[in-house]
A = this chain, B = another copy of it.
Amino acid sequence: MNITRLSSRQPDFEARLGKLLAFEETADEKLEATVAAILADVKKRGDEAVLEYTRKFDRLPLADAAAMELPKAELKAAFDGLPADQKGALEQAAGRVTDYHKKQVQVSWNYLDDDGTMLGQQVTPLDRVGLYVPGGKAAYPSSVLMNALPAKVAGVAELIMVVPTPDGVKNQLVLAAAYLSGVDRVFTIGGAQAVAALAYGTDTIPKVDKIVGPGNAYVASAKRRVFGVCGIDMIAGPSEILVICDGKTDPDWVAMDLFSQAEHDELAQAILLSPDESFIEAVAASADKLLAQMARKDIIRTALQNRGALIHVADMDEACRISNRIAPEHLELSVGDPKTWLPKLKHAGAIFMGRYTSESLGDYCAGPNHVLPTSGTARFSSPLGVYDFQKRSSLIQVSPQGAQKLGEIASILAFGEGLQAHAQSALYRKGK
C-alpha cells in the first residue's frame, strides 16, 4: 500500500497538509433541483406525494398512507428475535450511552438582582423530533442508539423515525435498536420525501420540530433546505481519524485503528502523527501485513492511498499544534500519559485517550456520542448531545424598584438608537 508520507520539516508542509485535508462537495445542480421539486410536492400534496415517491424510488407497493407505519409489535418482535449476544451488547451499549448523556442534561436557573428583579433561563425539551435512518448498507443500529437516546434523555415527548426499506427489505437490528431506544413511531419512508414529510407534516406523518440523523446527498440537501422550518443537526462530511502516537503503542493496533476509519468509505480520512520515524514505518508495515485479511480491503486501500497520511513531527508539542490545525472528528491520543497533553488539544470532536482507547470502543459503547463534527468543524461545533434536544427561554421579571433604574438606562439607549416607542415603553414603567 502506498500511503503518503509527510514531514513537518518539509518547507511546503503547510501547503501539502492543506491539500490533503481539502474536501469540497461539488454542488450537483440536478440533484438540488430534484430535491427542491420533491419538497414542494410533498408540502402541497402530502401523503399522496410521499406514497408516490416511495412506490417509485423504494419499489414499495404500499396500499395506503397508513401502511407506511410499522406496528410497534414488529419492532418488539425484531428485538425479541435477536441472538442473545447481540441483544445483550445492544442493551449494555444503550445503558452506557444513556448514563453518559444524563450528565449533559441542562436545567433551568434564575436569580434575583439587588432590586428584586428576577433573571433566568427556562430549559425545555423539544416537543417532537424526527430521526432519519438510512436504508441499505449504511444502516447502523448503533446510529439509532446515538441519535435516539439523547433525545429521550432530554425529555422529547415524541420521537418519529423514518427508514427507507427498498423492496421491502427491513434491517432487524435497526428495528431492534429503535425498540430499545424508545422510538415512538416508525415509518418506512426515506429520501427527500421523508425529510419533507417530517418538516411540513402530512395527514399521516406528524410535523416535527427538528430532524436528526445521517443520510445520502438527497437527504442532506433536503435537510439544508428545510432548515428554519424545523431544526436540523449538522450535515456530516466524510469521517476522519487522527492518531497521535508517541511510538510506543503496538503498531498493529494503530494500523487497525486507521483501518477502522478507512473501512467506512473511500472518502474516509485516516492520519497518523508521530515524532518517531521508525514507528511510522512499522505502522506502514503492519498495514501492509494486515490488509489482506480485511473483508473491506478494497475500500481501506483506496481511502488510505487517496486521503490517508503518515506524518513525521518534531515532537509531541508540534503534534498537538497540528492536531488543532486539523480539528479532527476523532482524535486518538495513543500515548502513555494522555492527561499531560490534553490541555494542549483545543479542537476535536472526541478524544480517545491512552493506548487502550480505540476509536471503535467509543463508536459503540463507551458512552459518548458517535455523531461528531467533521471536516474541521470541531473548531466551532460539538458532538450531538442532549443539549441538541433542549432549548432555552430567557426569563425576566422586573420589580417595581428595578423598573426605575432599568427604565432610565433603557430610555437613554433607545433614544440614542432613534427608537422612541422603546424609550416610551420603558419610561411608562419608570414613572409608576
Tell which of B141, B257, B378, B413 touches A391, judged by Cβ atoms closer than 8 Å.
B378
Q: Which of A9-17, A87-95, A180-188 contacts B (4 or more CB under 8 A)?
A: A87-95
- Give the number of times this chain occurs in the complex, counting copies: 2
6 tightest Cβ-Cβ pairs between the two chains A and B: A231-B380, A368-B394, A259-B421, A353-B397, A350-B394, A89-B412
Beta-carbon contact of A398 and B357 below 8 Å: yes
Q: Is the CB of B357 within 8 A of A259?
A: no
Does A215 belong to the interface (CB within 8 Å)? no
Residues of B within 8 A of A88 (CB): 412
Q: How large is the interface on A (under 10, 10 to 19, 20 to 34, 35 or more residues)?
A: 35 or more
Segment from A46-54, A68-76, A305-313, A381-389 that makes contact with B: A381-389
Within 8 A of B (CB), among A381-432: 381-383, 385, 387, 391-400, 402-403, 406-410, 412-414, 416-426, 428-429, 432
Instruction: For A140, give its contact among B361, B397, B417, B420 (CB under 8 Å).
Output: B417
The yes or no answer to A285 lying at the interface (CB within 8 A) is: no
Residues in B whose Cβ lies below 8 Å from that of A357: 396-398, 403, 429
Tell me if A350 and B382 are in contact (CB < 8 A).
Answer: no
- Give the chain B neighbours of A377 by CB distance below 8 A: 228, 231
Tell me if B127 and A379 are in contact (CB < 8 A): yes
- Minimum CB distance partner of A295 in chain B: B420
When chains A and B are docked, how far (Å) is the Cα of A202 from the Cα of B416? 35
Does A352 sit at the interface, judged by CB under 8 A? Answer: yes
| A331 proximity list for chain B (CB < 8 A) | 393
- Contacting chain B: which of A56-64, A160-168, A248-256, A314-322? A248-256
A279 within 8 Å of B (CB atoms)? no
* Residues 172-192 of A at the B interface (beta carbon under 8 Å): 173
A418 to B351, CA, bound (A): 24
> Per a CB cutoff under 8 Å, which of B111, B141, B399, B409 touches A364?
B409
Out of B141, B250, B256, B417, which one reaches A417, CB within 8 Å? Answer: B141
> Which of A96, A300, A379, A407 is most buried by chain B, counting CB atoms within 10 A of its CB?
A379
